[in-house]
A and B are shown apart, each in its own frame.
Chain A
Amino acid sequence: MDFLVKIFIEPVQYEFMQRAIAASVLVGITCGLVGSFIMLRKMSLIGDALAHAVLPGVIIGFMIAGKGQTALFIGAVTAGIITSLLIGFVNRNSKIKEDTSIGVVFTGAFALGILLVSQMKNVHIDLTSYLFGDILGVSRSDLILSAIIAFVVIVSIVLFYKQLLVTSFDLTMAAVMGVSTGMVHYFLMSLLSMTIVASLQSVGVILVVAMLITPAATAYLLTDRLHKMLIYSVLIGVFTALVGLLGSYHFNFSSGAAMVVFGTMVFLFTLIFSPTQGVLIKTIRRKRISDKNISQDLIKLIYKNCIDGKSLKVIHAKIKLSELTSQLGLSKSQIDKGIKTLTDDGLIDIQDDFIHVRDKGRKEAIQLIRSHRLWESYLNHEKILSVEKLHSDAEELEHHLTEELVDEIDQKLNYPILDPDGDPIPTKDGELREATNR
């Protein structure tokens, strides 16, 4: 308990920490929202570029108006907008592609900023805290500015949600709505510049792009809806920033670096363990499907060995396991596993080396045979595939066709008796259809 108090409660009593906590929350919110759109519009590089390019704006602002929040804000936003205009100008008036024009413009602007810093006599600027952030040094006025920016960003995104969604997803729809994509772009660039200003004190110029896109990218892996992505991105951003702050307090880490390292860890964790799209669940799902296919192939093969192909009558009550192994292109362990699944599911019984198919197994096998043969008949009827390819396609699809779809095909083909190879197609109840002329 003491330990927890020391980690979480003790820091809160200091006023500078209270400010830092508020700043972290605000950074998480602002970056999480704006970053989601930056990521979806494939503008991560622009995010990084603007963060660097605001430097000369900030310095010039300080030179004119002295060090203060207003100068910082106006200088940075102006520089951000000029930079994005300049990138657009280079794009439109040359054959140079966007990534290169971004590279040229932002490095140039950043370098200009550094030149200006070295020439500034009357105002001292701590370049290190500007580059890497120093959240423990956040002042009251920094905080007020961040709060105003967060408010503007939230209100803008709520109000312009439709326009932002449409211009990010489908420009043609935006045109039909009469939304100017150029306007939305520069509006978003202004929001981005403000977001960068709000994050300067806590993460710094170099790493602010990570606070923009990493929580957004993490959220993107967790949901398929934009509004949920925005909410998740904010929550992850806030969480990341707070953990980074604690690291900074307890271990004297650079606050920006601590936030970004933790954010990257959260991202990697999500990439692997996301319950819907994670690498792990995908592997398990793939394995499960292939296991299911194997055991289905097995029961079909076992049953086919027990019956006469033409009449579907059972001719062997049981068959020898060792006779099967050669007929499937499967390893011994795959077969063993498949047999175990079939036994556990009550589809077959095993006695010594003999397999006896139970009623449940018989039904399953008949359904698979039915799916396979009807699908072959359907493809043949629609003349979609050549006769040679029919079998392999049906072999794959018999595992996936739903019962309803199989019934629909049956009906559409007017309840055929034989498949293209001349083999009988069992009915829904597993019976053989009587030929009317028989």
Chain B
Amino acid sequence: MSSNNFAIEVNNLTVTYNKKPAVKSIDLKIPQGSLVGIIGPNGAGKSSLLKGFLGLLPTDSGLIKVFNRPIKQSISSISYIPQKESLDWDFPVVVSDVVMMGRYPHLKFFQRPTEHDKKIVEEALKKVEMEKFANRQIRALSGGQQQRVFLARALAQESEILLLDEPFVGVDAATESTIISLLKKLRDNGKTILVVHHDLGKVNQYFDYLVMLNQRLIAFGKTSDVFKNEYLDKTYGGRLTILQKSEDLQIENAKLH
């Protein structure tokens, strides 16, 4: 039964971006109900890893299981909070429209949202204290409010796993701490949360587990076990150059063929 406690299991996963491998041969076992940080330098493939989970980027090899089932069957139990710049904030949707999208995976192909769905949306907005803004266009919100709207969408989706891509970019310190305490509350309710993060400052206080990534998995484990200089060096320097060199060689070879 022990394998049932893993929310996500990844075996030998390689995700490609622009026809080049962005992350390679990743093995991970993420326990259910944990708050996990994914850290690594720019270009380490942090976002690509999350996008690989969702099938937004092609995976060359590897197996992803979510709650012991192939990811395709359980993809609706995942919610993804996209990077800020990947969205068109002038799109004609108001806050409640965005949160309602979280209900879409529960609806049949042609089905319209029901009263029940509307109620869930309202409750989700209340949980992130955004109910007053239900009819606001999403551009007319602060950075922190925008993040909370997407958290509300994840709540409305009633997903077990949340993937967040750099949620703290462009939000102030106060908002960051609001969001992290919301995430911790969700974790305490049994949700599994993966956060791509680039600031090492508060890693200790934020995350239960750390995925340290630099195209390959450098370390994975309890934050207290892996957030150490030896792994940080491997992630951010030292070994990187050799990895980078091998990568360069492969690209050269690919060109020749």
A176 touches B105 (CB 8 A): yes
The interface residues of chain A lying within 8 Å CB-to-CB of B101 are 165-166, 169-170, 173
- Chain A residues 212 to 233 lying within 8 A of chain B, measured CB to CB, are 220, 223-226, 228-229
The interface residues of chain B lying within 8 Å CB-to-CB of A169 are 87-88, 91, 93, 101
Partner-contacting stretch, out of B20-28, B29-37, B74-82, B235-243: B74-82
Does more than half of chain B's interface fall in helix, strand or loop, or is it mixed? mixed
- A147 proximal to B (CB < 8 A): no
The interface residues of chain B lying within 8 Å CB-to-CB of A223 are 92
Question: Which residue, of B78, B101, B173, has the highest number of chain A Cβ atoms within 10 A?
Answer: B101
Q: Which of B91, B93, B105 contacts A177 (CB 8 A)?
A: B105
Q: How long is the Cα–Cα vector from A66 to B161 in the complex, in angstroms?
A: 58
Closest partner residue, chain B, to A229 (CB atom): B92
A224 touches B80 (CB 8 A): no
The interface residues of chain A lying within 8 Å CB-to-CB of B107 are 162
Top 3 closest A-B pairs, CB basis?
A: A224-B137, A172-B80, A175-B54
- Bits for B39-79, please: 1 = Cβ < 8 Å to A, else 0: 00000000000010011100000000000000000011011
Q: Which of B51, B80, B88, B137 contacts A173 (CB 8 A)?
A: B80
Q: Which of A168, A177, A384 contacts B104 (CB 8 A)?
A: A177
B92 touches A176 (CB 8 A): no
The interface residues of chain B lying within 8 Å CB-to-CB of A162 are 104, 107
Q: How long is the Cα–Cα vector from A225 to B98 in the complex, in angstroms?
A: 11
A168 touches B82 (CB 8 A): no
- A86 proximal to B (CB < 8 A): no
Write the residues of chain B forming the contact surface with A, with a CB cutoff of 8 angstroms: 51, 54-56, 75-76, 78-80, 82, 87-88, 91-94, 97, 101, 104-105, 107, 110, 137, 153, 157, 172-174
Question: Which residue, of A171, A176, A224, A225, has the highest number of chain B Cβ atoms within 10 A?
Answer: A176
- Chain B's nearest CB lies how many Å from the CB of A376? 16
- A353 proximal to B (CB < 8 A): no
Closest partner residue, chain B, to A162 (CB atom): B104
- Known A-B contacts A172-B54, A384-B173; the reply to A225 vs B75 at CB < 8 A is no
Closest partner residue, chain A, to B150 (CB atom): A170
The interface residues of chain B lying within 8 Å CB-to-CB of A228 are 92
- A352 proximal to B (CB < 8 A): no
- Known A-B contacts A159-B110, A384-B173; the reply to A166 vs B104 at CB < 8 A is yes
Interface size on A, residues (CB 8 A): 24
- Known A-B contacts A170-B82, A176-B79; the reply to A225 vs B105 at CB < 8 A is no
- Known A-B contacts A162-B104, A382-B174; the reply to A176 vs B78 at CB < 8 A is yes
- Chain B's nearest CB lies how many Å from the CB of A372? 20
- Chain A's nearest CB lies how many Å from the CB of B102? 8
Q: How long is the Cα–Cα vector from A220 to B92 in the complex, in angstroms?
A: 7
Does more than half of chain A's interface fall in helix, strand or loop, or is it mixed? helix
- A182 proximal to B (CB < 8 A): no
- A422 proximal to B (CB < 8 A): no
- A329 proximal to B (CB < 8 A): no
Closest partner residue, chain B, to A160 (CB atom): B110
Closest partner residue, chain A, to B55 (CB atom): A175
The interface residues of chain B lying within 8 Å CB-to-CB of A173 are 80, 101, 104, 153
B104 touches A226 (CB 8 A): no
- A40 proximal to B (CB < 8 A): yes
Q: How long is the Cα–Cα vector from A159 to B172 in the complex, in angstroms?
A: 41
The interface residues of chain B lying within 8 Å CB-to-CB of A175 are 54-56, 75, 80
- Chain B's nearest CB lies how many Å from the CB of A154? 14
- Chain A's nearest CB lies how many Å from the CB of B25? 23
The interface residues of chain B lying within 8 Å CB-to-CB of A171 are 56
Q: How long is the Cα–Cα vector from A162 to B105 in the complex, in angstroms?
A: 10
The interface residues of chain B lying within 8 Å CB-to-CB of A172 are 51, 54, 56, 80, 82
Q: How long is the Cα–Cα vector from A225 to B94 in the complex, in angstroms?
A: 7
- Chain B's nearest CB lies how many Å from the CB of A38? 14
B91 touches A168 (CB 8 A): yes
- Chain B's nearest CB lies how many Å from the CB of A157? 12
The interface residues of chain B lying within 8 Å CB-to-CB of A166 are 101, 104
Q: Other than the known A178-B105, A224-B94, what 5 A-B pairs have Cβ atoms closer than 8 Å?
A: A165-B93, A173-B80, A175-B75, A176-B78, A225-B93
The interface residues of chain A lying within 8 Å CB-to-CB of B79 are 176
Question: Which residue, of B54, B157, B172, has the highest number of chain A Cβ atoms within 10 A?
Answer: B54
- Bits for A109-141, please: 1 = Cβ < 8 Å to B, else 0: 000000000000000000000000000000000
Q: How long is the Cα–Cα vector from A175 to B71 in the complex, in angstroms?
A: 12
- Chain B's nearest CB lies how many Å from the CB of A261? 26
Q: How long is the Cα–Cα vector from A410 to B105 in the complex, in angstroms?
A: 44
A176 touches B75 (CB 8 A): yes
Closest partner residue, chain A, to B82 (CB atom): A172
The interface residues of chain B lying within 8 Å CB-to-CB of A165 are 93, 101
The interface residues of chain A lying within 8 Å CB-to-CB of B54 are 172, 175-176
- Chain B's nearest CB lies how many Å from the CB of A131? 33
Q: Which of B76, B82, B91 contacts A40 (CB 8 A)?
A: B91
The interface residues of chain B lying within 8 Å CB-to-CB of A176 are 54, 75-76, 78-80, 105, 157
Q: How long is the Cα–Cα vector from A177 to B75 in the complex, in angstroms?
A: 8
- Bits for A144-184, please: 1 = Cβ < 8 Å to B, else 0: 00000000000000010010011011111101111000000
Closest partner residue, chain B, to A220 (CB atom): B92
Q: How long is the Cα–Cα vector from A220 to B88 in the complex, in angstroms?
A: 14
Question: Which residue, of A170, A178, A220, A225, has the highest number of chain B Cβ atoms within 10 A?
Answer: A170
Q: How long is the Cα–Cα vector from A176 to B92 in the complex, in angstroms?
A: 21
The interface residues of chain A lying within 8 Å CB-to-CB of B153 are 173
